[in-house]
Amino acid sequence: MLKTKMVPVVLCGGSGTRLWPRSRASRPKPFIPLVDEEPLFISTLKRCADPEMFGAPVVVTGSAHLEHVEAQLDAAEGTVIVEPMARNTAAAIALAACRLDANDVMLVCPSDHHIADCDAFNSAAARACELAREGWLVAFGITPDAPETGFGYLKQGDEIGDGAWAIERFVEKPDRPRAEAFLAEGGYSWNGGLFAFRAGTFMDELTAHRPQIAQKAREAVSAGHAEGRRFYPEAKAFAEIESESVDYAVMENTGKAAMVPVAMGWSDIGNWQALREARARDEDGNVARGRVELVDCRNVMVDSDGPRVSVIGLEDVIVVVDGDDILVTSAEGSQKVGKLTGACSQ
Tell me the pLDDT tens digit for each residue of 159-187. Answer: 999 999 999 999 999 999 999 999 999 99
How buried is 27 (Cβ within 10 angstroms: 0-12 exposed, 13-18 middle, 19+ buried)? Answer: middle
Residues 6+ apart with CB under 8 A from 174: 149, 153, 182
pLDDT of residue 3: 59
Q: Which of 249, 188, 202 is nearest to 108 (CA)?
A: 202
Confidence check: pLDDT of 75 > 70: no
Confidence check: pLDDT of 233 > 90: yes
Confidence check: pLDDT of 108 > 70: yes
Judge whether 106 and 202 are in contact, CB under 8 Å.
Answer: yes
Q: Which of 171, 169, 175, 165 is nearest to 140 (CA)?
A: 165
Average pLDDT of the residues in 238-256: 96
Average pLDDT of the residues in 57-64: 95
Confidence check: pLDDT of 197 > 60: yes
Tell me the pLDDT tens digit for each residue of 119-128. Answer: 999 999 999 9
Q: Using a pLDDT cut of 70, give the percent of the chain over it.
A: 98
The Cβ-side half-sphere exposure at 2, using a 13 Å CA radius, reads: 24
The verdict on whether omega for the bond into residue 110 sits within 30 degrees of 0, i.e. cis, is: no
How sure is the predictor about 26, in pLDDT bands with cuts at 50, 70 and 90?
confident
Tell me the pLDDT tens digit for each residue of 205-222. Answer: 999 999 999 999 999 999
Confidence check: pLDDT of 323 > 90: yes
pLDDT of residue 2: 52
Confidence check: pLDDT of 1 > 50: no
CA 26 to CA 16: how far, in whole Å? 8
Which pTM was predicted? 0.93
How buried is 159 (Cβ within 10 angstroms: 0-12 exposed, 13-18 middle, 19+ buried)? Answer: exposed
- Of the listed ranges 5-14, 227-236, 281-290, the least confidently predicted one is 5-14
